[in-house]
Every structure is written in C-alpha cells, then in structure tokens.
A and B are shown apart, each in its own frame.
Chain A
Amino acid sequence: MNRRAAAGLLILAALLVAFPWMTGPYALSVATLILYFAYAGQAWNVMMGFAGQLSLGHSLYVGVGAYVAGGIFFHWGIGPWAGLWVAIVLCTLLGLVIGFLAFRFGISGVYFALLTIAFAEFTRIGFDHIAPLGGPGGLFLKVAQRDTIDLLNFRGPPIMYYYAILALTAGAFIACWKLLHSKVGYYWQAIREDEEAARALGINVFRWKMLAMAISSGMTAIAGVFFAFYYNNLFPEQIFNISRSIEIILGPIIGGVGTLFGPILGAAVLTLLSDGITEAFAAMGLDIPGIKQVFYGVVLLVVVMFLPHGIWPAIARKLRL
C-alpha cells in the first residue's frame, strides 16, 4: 500500500467514525446495511477472491450463526458474546465438512458451487422443522429497549449497531490485508490461478483450501450473529434463501473479486443505488415488486460487460494506487 492509499483509507475511516453525527436515522440505517454487506462480502471474498472457490451458499453460515446466537438469547437470555463463539465454531465445522466432501473428492468449479447451494437449501428446509427455533413461523428476539446501550446483551440504539458493524468491517479489512500479504495469501492465490502448478511448488492444496473454507465460514457466522440482533426476527425461508447468498456475493463481484476494497465499494454502490431506485419509484407512487432484483441484474450485466474485474481495479488504476 502506498502513501496516498493509506491517507485515503484514513480519511475514509475518519468519515465513517464521524458519520452518525453528520446524518439522520435513515442514512444511518442505510450505512449499517452497507457495512453489513461489506463485511459479509469480505468473508466470502476470502474463499472466492483469494482461494478461487465459488460458494453460492454463504447464506448457510449467516443463517446458522444467526439462529445459534439468537436461539441461545431467546431461550436462556444469554447475550451474543457466548452465542458468538458457538456460532463461529459450528459454522467453521460446517464449512470444514462441506470443504472436506468437496476437496477430498476433487469437486471444484460449478460442482462445488452446486454443493454449497445444496447444503444451504437442505439446512433451510431442516430449520422449518426445528420447533424450539420457531420453525417456519420464525424466531423473534425480545427487544426490551432501544434507548441505552446494553453491550452485554447487545441491545441499544441504532448507533450501537452501526459502530459494531463498522468495527467488524474494519477488522475484517485489516485481517484480510494481513492474510493476503502473508504466506497463506500467496498460497491461496497460487491455488486460485493454477492448482497443478501450486502443487508442484510444495503446496498442499487440500489443506490450504480447507483453511480458506474455515476462515470464510467462521467470519460469515459473525455476520449472522449481527443480523440476528439487529433485525430481531429470523425466518428460515428468508435467511437461508439463495437470494441472500447472491446478495452477499454481488458486492465483491461488482466491486472487484479478490481485491480488499472491492467488497466495501461494491456493497456501497449496490445498496445506495438500489435504495435510491426503490425510493425514486416510491416517490413516483409506483410500487413494483422485484424492482430491486431487476436492478441488481442490470448493474451486474453492465459491470460484467464493461468492467469484468469490477469497479475497484479500474478506479485503483486511475488513481495509481
């Protein structure tokens, strides 16, 4: 990273920290959403962008993470700080099981993607039948108050959630920067580019792919825990839905797969534009269901056609970062 990039990053960080004092509640909720997608996108990027393994089932880890921490809070009133670890461990194990099945038996590319979808789908169906977690009727977390910050139970005003997700996104950015510039990052990229050549350089491809799987799924579990305590209601039909997985990956794809800043930029562009579109249509008195999906499709099409590596690499080149 050169000096100008570092300076730019510092300014951005300062702006994000000051953001809640400069705007209103609506902007804050949009910003929270952007950061949520930036974080989840960063987690997915570890697998696809770094190690080259396409997962289309990351909603699985969001969902399991959310239900585990949410369920523990719902039944025993224990805040997310305990549930968080259970969620991380469980999702990491899930990721390792899927990874083992895929990588041990040489399943890759599209077939790997299908496997990840399959796991998310049958988990979705499975959760419909778990009565203690509400089944298809959903799980609702109690909201006692929204005025004071209760960190122990992760209950409080929107600003608390904003700073929590900001810290997560910043942490993920730094962690991914470190990973990418260390041995593991080099090994992942080598595997992404050419597995056979990677093997010939002494890289145990199976082992490093498993590590990518573990880190990515564990990180995504944290997004799930945040989701549960921010939205307070969980439905298997929604949270495990493949469209949720797609939402997570659109940010990094549009921003730039494999780049560190791509997931953040992509999440911002997508969320701002899609919210803008929804608002604009609402202002005109039009309520068109599915307009957001159509919009996602158009944006994806434009980016794939004109900026196949994503928006961020093009900007970085222009700015000579």
Chain B
Amino acid sequence: MILQVRGISKSFRGLRAVKDASFEMTEGTINALIGPNGAGKTTIFNMIAGVYRPDSGTIVFRGREIHGLRPDQICAAGIGRTFQIVKPFAGLSVLDNVMVGAFLRERTSAGARKVSLEILEKQHLAPKRDLPASSLTLPDRKRLEVARALATRPSLLLLDEVMAGLRPTETDQMVEVFRALNRSEGLTILLIEHVMRAVMALAQHIGVLHHGEVIARGTPQQIVKDPAVLECYLGEETEV
C-alpha cells in the first residue's frame, strides 16, 4: 500500500465536507475519486496534499503519517499535485516553470534543465519551452501543470480535474500520457475527475463519494453496476 487513508473527516464552519472517508491505493495503480459536485473530492485531495489538516483520521504514505504536514513537506515526501484551476508561473517561460519543480531533487541549474527538457518532451511541450507560460492555451497549461508536478519526481501523482475543459481528442492524448507514465515508470496516480470518458479509460480502481462519504469502491466494471452509485451519481445507466 503506497497510500492509506483511514477515517478522515473535515468540517468547514460546522458543515461536514468529508465524513469518515477511508481508502487505500496499491503501488503502481491508477485510481480515481468520483462523485457529484460538493461530494468532498477536492477536500480529500487537499487533505492528502497538505492544504487542509484533517479534523480526525490518519493518512499514511509509504508507512509514514503525513496528515498535518505542510504542502511543501508533502511534495518533498514524494506526492506531486496539479491544481484544478491551473496556476502557471505566468511571468516565467515554460521551461523555467518546470525547472522550479525540478530543483526539488536537482541542485544545479544544468541538472534541473536537463530533467525539465526530458519531461517537456514527453508532454509535447518542448517546442514551446521558451514561450512565457501566460501565452499558453488551456490544454497546454494543463500539460504544463502536469510537467511541473512530474519534475518533482513524485511516486504518487494527484491530478485535480486535469481533463476538465479539454476536447475529447485532447483527453485521449492526456490519458495516453498518464498510461505511459504509469507503465514505464510505475507512477501511482490518483485522479479526481468529472470526465467519465477519462476515468473509465484510465482508472483501475474507483472510489465514489457522496455527501462526504465513500459509498462504493471497486473496478470500473463494478462501479457502473453498483445500484447506490447509479442512484446518486450516474443517474441513468445510458449516460455511461
């Protein structure tokens, strides 16, 4: 188990966003958290990433309790993340953006540049490396977000709605990128996603959240047949 989330809860001013949520992830797998808006997906995500501290419960990453650590400590521990609303360093070039991430494991500029160029190549951003990040289109910004997170050399990558706003062909391309990363480097991935096309294509394990609780866990095949899931989230079977 690379990540074990045990009974975490979080309230905001009395409103319980996440209630006693538990799940775990095996090393080298692709996992997804799905659920309707307001189900608590992003809150769970932010607790793993260190933005929020859980009110109760534990999060164990590679045998080490990480709940309550700062975001930078979580990243240093080996968990990379992207932001739902992309946050490029707008004034810096594409390459410099990725280099910021690479400096976590590289001391020298030359080393960081080398690592970053390799990652940009894989993310199809190499030709745009000298452009300011502010000039990129949304799909490219999403790729940059992923490239920057990858540059920190994570063993677990958290993706917050990274497919949102992409066209189907762009989604398929992104899916392919993550599959390749998972296959070639054994990267464990947790994605929070609305785009079911991507979830079904990528995830080996899915957790379904509803009103802050995990109501179902299983393979995509199991999830689409789960009556509780169909009722709360997928609505009608024909939508899948």
Contact = CB atoms under 8 A, between A and B. Distances in A.
B104 A201 contact: yes
A194 B87 CA distance: 7
3 interchain residue pairs of minimum CB distance: A202-B75, A193-B89, A197-B87
B109 A182 contact: yes
Contacts of A212: none
A183 B88 CA distance: 18
Contacts of B148: 197, 201
Nearest to B76: A202
A138 B125 CA distance: 61
A3 interface: no
A197 B75 CA distance: 11
B167 interface: no
A187 interface: yes
Secondary structure call for the A interface: helix
Interface string A164-192: 00000000000000000111001101101
B32 interface: no
A199 B109 contact: no
B188 interface: no
B83 A187 contact: no
Interface residues of B, number: 28
B183 interface: no
Given A193-B90, A193-B92, A194-B87, A199 B103 contact: no
B71 to A, nearest CB: 4
Point out which of A181, A204, A258 has the most chain B C-beta atoms below 10 A from its C-beta: A204
A193 B97 CA distance: 10
Interface string B121-159: 000000000000000000000000000110110000000
A202 B104 contact: yes
A181 B87 contact: no
B103 A200 contact: no
The bracket for how many chain A residues form the interface is 20 to 34
A287 interface: no
Interface of B: 49, 70-72, 75-76, 80-81, 83, 87-92, 96, 99-101, 103-104, 107, 109, 112, 148-149, 151-152
B131 to A, nearest CB: 15
Contacts of A203: 72, 100, 104
Interface in A209-237: none
B112 A183 contact: yes
B90 A186 contact: no
Given A181-B109, A183-B109, A200 B90 contact: no
Nearest to A52: B91
Contacts of B88: 193-194, 197
A200 B87 CA distance: 10
Contacts of A258: 91
A187 B100 contact: yes
Interface of A: 181-183, 186-187, 189-190, 192-194, 196-205, 258
Contacts of A190: 89, 92, 100
Given A192-B91, A199-B71, A202-B104, 19 more contacts: A182-B109, A183-B103, A186-B100, A186-B103, A189-B91, A189-B100, A194-B87, A194-B88, A197-B148, A198-B100, A199-B75, A200-B49, A201-B75, A201-B101, A201-B149, A201-B152, A202-B76, A203-B100, A204-B72
Contact of A202 (B72, B89, B91, B96): B72
B89 A200 contact: no
A178 to B, nearest CB: 10
A271 to B, nearest CB: 28
Nearest to A183: B103
A198 B90 CA distance: 12
Nearest to B111: A183
A194 B89 contact: yes
B107 A183 contact: yes
A181 B81 CA distance: 25
A196 B148 CA distance: 14
A12 to B, nearest CB: 25
Nearest to B101: A201
Nearest to A190: B100
Contacts of A205: 72
A189 B99 CA distance: 11
Contact of A187 (B81, B90, B103): B103
Contacts of B151: 201
23 contacts: A183-B109, A186-B96, A186-B103, A186-B109, A189-B91, A189-B96, A192-B91, A193-B88, A193-B90, A193-B91, A193-B92, A196-B83, A198-B100, A200-B71, A200-B72, A201-B100, A201-B149, A201-B151, A202-B101, A202-B104, A202-B152, A203-B72, A204-B70
Contacts of B100: 186-187, 189-190, 198, 201, 203
A189 B72 contact: no
A197 B76 CA distance: 14
